[in-house]
Structure formats: C-alpha cells, structure tokens
Chains A and B, each alone.
Chain A
Amino acid sequence: MSIAFKSPIFDVKNLNFSASGQDILAHISLEIFHGEYIAIIGPNGGGKTTLIRLLLGLEKPTTGNIKIFGKDLKHFKEWNKIGFVPQRAAQVDQNFPATALDIVRMGRTSKRKLFSRESEEDIQAVDDAMAKMDILNLKDKMVGTLSGGQRQRVMIARALASNPEILILDEPNTGVDIVSQQNFYKLLSKLNKEENITIVFITHDIGVIADDIGRLFTINQKAIICNDPKAALSCEDMSDLYGISAHLVHNHKHEH
C-alpha cells in the first residue's frame, strides 16, 4: 500500500478539450501511479494523442485540472522525470545532421549545466540508455540512414537518457516487424519491472498487448478505464470494443 502515501504521477480531474467548436475530449478523469504499466487504445481520431499532449502541457485544456507529481501542471518544472516519445518520432528529416549518438545525447541537454562539458554521469547515462535499447552498434550511424525500427529505438533511448521515472510512448511500434515488436514489448516490461519505470503507451495492436499490462484505457472522446485488461480483451474483440466505447459516448451525451 505504499502507493497510498505517494501522490500519483498524473492526476487528471474532469478534463475537457474542445477545438474549432468540437469536443475532442470530454470529462476525462484518471490517475497514473508510480510503477504502473498502462496501455491506451482507441480508434483513429479518438483523442489519444491529444490526451498525452494535454498531460505534457503542449496543449491547454478548455477546462479541468492536471497535476503532475503532485504539482499543478503550470508550476511543474522537473521535466527530466518524464520521457516522451511522440507519434511519428521516427519519421525524422533524412538530412538532419545527427548520428544516433547525437540524438540520444539530446536527452541529457536539460540536465547539463550551461557551458559544462559532458560529465562522466552524462556519458554513462547515454551509454546505458543505448545499451538498454540495444543500439550501441549504431552510435555513429546517421539517423537518416537507419531503418524505422532502429530509429524508434534511438528515440526511446533519447527519452531514457535523462533517467525518467515515467516513459510515455505514442504508438512506438508502428512500422516495426512482428519479431521486433515482441522484443519491444519484452523490453518495455523489463524497464517496468527491473528499472521500476512507469510506462504509458498508446497502441493499436490490442492483440499483441503483453500480459504484463496492468491497466487499459480506451479513449474515444471519453475515457473508459479497465483495471483488468485480460478480461476486457477476452470478452470482446477489438472492433467490438471500439464500437461499444463509441456507443457509450453517444448514450452518455443524452443522459446529461
């Protein structure tokens, strides 16, 4: 019950977001606790990316309240604790002058003091992150020349380089082959279990979600939070789940 004494990493209360006169997210309340392993699913345009962007302060909610590590989003400063890999992160500009190492080192930028050279600790953290993602052999390769899956690993290594407490990944596995995907899930679950990193990731591959996931959020304008993902998956297939959630949203609107 140690969780009870620690405030959640994310505490979201009654979040609403509308843009161009359209409700994109409505009445979202959720909590994400230390050490959790959460998957977010939902149809295209359901608002998954938007939810993450709101959580990270990249988008302002219309109404509602977001707390990170117990602090109001506005006053939150310790962004080093959060590792974020956005959707399409792997689609880098082919000509961008960066080696894999250059990219991973970016993850240390805000930890380093002005003018300071890379410290032993910086070098070690970058090396560890690359080792965890198994990309040490790609160090000096230009990112533009890497495969989609390799680039994805580089982006995650960058997020890991600041030794975050939580890793947020927006569809990190698109364009990655099945074998790599399975390795990838193993890796996420290893990070979660062995390094105690909280993991939140958005995916469409509901079928391959590993057993390790603690909770499942279905986002389709509203959030449906499922505390036992295995039960959810066994009772309905994917299209049903999406259909039901869409239907629920519809009904809900009429109730109010």
Chain B
Amino acid sequence: MIEMLSYEFMQRAFLAGMLIAILASVSGTFVVLKRYSMISETLAHSALVGVAVALVAGYNPLWVAVVVSILSAWLIEYLRSAFALYSDAILSILLSGSLAVAVIIVSIGGEFNNSLFAYLFGSILSVSGEDIATIFIFGFIALFLLLLFSKEFYFIAYDEEVAKTSGIRVKLLNYLLVTIVAIIVALSIRIIGTLLIGALMVIPTIAALQYQVGFLRTSLLSVIFAVLSVIVGMTLSFYFSLPSGATIVLCVLSIFVLSLLINKK
C-alpha cells in the first residue's frame, strides 16, 4: 500500500477514485429508487460520443464528455416527460444510438485505438493532472448540489406526485438530478470506463438495500461499499496489473453477493 502510494499517479488516481465512488453511490441511491438505473449506462455511452469527438477534434476528452452527457440527459428527461414513451425504451434507444454515433465518429477520424479502449474500460495509468483537476472541480459541484437537494430528491424518488403537491419543484429537480448524474458518469469514465460505471452507481445501493434500514443508513452503507470497492479494486489492479474498472466492479459485486447472503431470510 505504502509502496503503491509513493507513485504520484497512484495518489491522484486514488483521490479521484474515492471522490467518484462517493458521487456515484450517493447519486445512485436516488437513481435506483426512481427505477432509473439504466440511465447511467445510457449516459456513459453518450459520454463516449463526447470522447470520440474530442479525440478526433483534439479537445480535452473529459470536458467534451461532460457536455455531451449533459445534453443527452436533458434529451432523455425531455422525451420522458413530453411523450408517452416507456423510460426504459428511451434509455435503450439512446444507448445504442450514442454507441453507433461514437463508433462512426472514431472510425471516420481513423482513431479507433488504445485511447478509446482506455475510456471503454477505464485505465488509471492514463489519468493526467489535468483530468484530476477536471474531476475535482465538477465533482465537488455535483456533490454540493446532491447534498443541497438530497431531501427533495428522496421525496421525489418516494412519490413524485405527492412531492409535487407539497410544493416541490419536481420538474426542475428531475432535470437537475439527471444533469448531476450526467456529470458524474462523464467524470468516471477515465477511471471506471464507459462499460462499467453503471455498476458503481447501482450495485452499492442495491447491496445497501438488502439491510432494510432507513434512508440515512442506506445512503451511508452504499457510500462505504463504493469507496471500499474502489480502494480494494485499485490496489488489486496495481499489484496484479489488472484493468482498474473491471477490478472495482468485481469488488462491488462481491460486496453485493455477501450482502445478499448475510440478509437471506
């Protein structure tokens, strides 16, 4: 552990990883309770469109990913409220659409190479100082907003209509939540990767729900599970040269399976 942290890039990756774990699990709780788990997968693929554009055009991939992911989140929320479409259908349509666009852009640009691969599966080795700065700036804004409106998000997740009739600006807050989720998803793809970020958002909460405790404890449990998975996952990935994202996901999955077994009736 000490040896590992003597590398500057590992210190950075750890810090960023833990921030992302906190963000993913806190926002994930609301997303899961709203039965909206798939949104993280879809937004991750939209973020990939941003990465593809940035790789081809030579911009900072993380920034463009954040922007495209937010736009996609707004489109999802708009489609969900304006048309009588099933939300899971909207999510899968946008997921495949985004992936198709990303692949086409990259193939036109002739850049379908290792750098895109790093975004698909996450690679801590590729995290630059600039990336860390981006992750921290956006990450803290997202965390601030999540905490600021946590009681509103909780109420909305419980019952959107009752929340509305008690004076909560449901529509606005729904847009805000998907925007926050979009930011978090885009930020995480460096470390966890597009294909795996959904797991870090959803699984810690599902694991925490097995303990059948109130809201505060459920949120705390899911944060602990996510942070623990990131620490253990990154350590294992460092010592055994495994891909970071996949290792983290396997850790969180183990916690989930354990939670299931512990709480088996």
- Within B205-255, which residues are at the interface with A (CB < 8 Å)? 208-209, 212-215, 217-218
27 sample A-B contacts, Cβ–Cβ < 8 Å, listed by A number: A58-B161, A58-B164, A79-B165, A79-B167, A82-B165, A89-B159, A92-B158, A95-B212, A97-B213, A97-B214, A97-B217, A97-B218, A98-B158, A98-B214, A106-B154, A106-B155, A106-B163, A107-B166, A109-B151, A109-B155, A110-B166, A114-B148, A140-B214, A142-B214, A144-B212, A145-B212, A162-B166
A247 within 8 A of B: no
Candidate in A57, A114, A140, A144 with the most chain B CB atoms within 10 angstroms:
A114
Q: B136-169: contact bitstring with A at CB < 8 Å (1 yes, 0 no)?
A: 0000000000011101101100110111111110
Q: Which of A43-99 contact B (CB under 8 A)?
A: 56-58, 77-80, 82, 84, 86, 89, 92, 95-99
A-B CB contacts (within 8 Å), total count: 76
Contact with A along B173-213 (1 / 0, CB 8 A): 00000000000000000000000000000000000110011
Supposing A98-B214, A99-B214 touch, asked if A80 and B155 sit within 8 A by C-beta, the answer is no
**By the criterion CB–CB under 8 Å, are B152 and A109 in contact?**
yes
Residues of B within 8 A of A56 (CB): 165
Residues of B within 8 A of A102 (CB): 154, 214-215
Chain B residues with Cβ below 8 Å from A99 are 214-215
Does A101 make an interface contact (CB < 8 A)? yes
Instruction: Give complex CA distance A82, B161 in Å.
Output: 13
Q: Kindly state whether residue B10 has any CB partner on chain A within 8 Å.
A: no
Cβ-neighbour of B168 out of A78, A82, A97, A109 (below 8 A) = A109
B79 interfacial contact with A, CB 8 Å: no
Whether, in the assembled complex, A193 has its beta carbon less than 8 Å from a beta carbon of chain B, the answer is no
Cβ contact within 8 Å between B215 and A86? no
Residues of B within 8 Å of A84, CB to CB, are: 162, 165-166
Is B33 part of the contact surface with A, judged by Cβ < 8 Å?
yes
B212 — which chain A residues lie within 8 A by C-beta? 95, 97, 142, 144-145
Chain A, Cβ-Cβ closest to B209: A95
Closest to B33 in A: A96
A103 beta carbon closer than 8 Å to chain B = yes
- Any B CB within 8 A of the CB of A250: no
Chain A interface helix/strand/loop/mixed: loop
Residues of B within 8 A of A98 (CB): 158, 214-215
User: Is A96 within 8 A of B158, CB to CB?
Assistant: yes
Contact status A78-B167, CB under 8 Å: yes
CB distance from A29 to the nearest CB of B (A): 22
Docked Cα-Cα span, A144 to B33, in Å, equals 14
Cβ contacts under 8 Å, A109 to chain B? 151-152, 155, 163, 166, 168
Select which of A89, A115, A142 is within 8 A of B148 by beta carbon: A115
- Return chain A residues, CB-CB under 8 Å to B218: 97
* Residues of chain A lying within 8 A (CB to CB) of residue B165: 56-58, 79, 82, 84
Task: Answer whether residue A186 sits at the interface, using C-beta atoms and an 8 A cutoff.
Answer: no
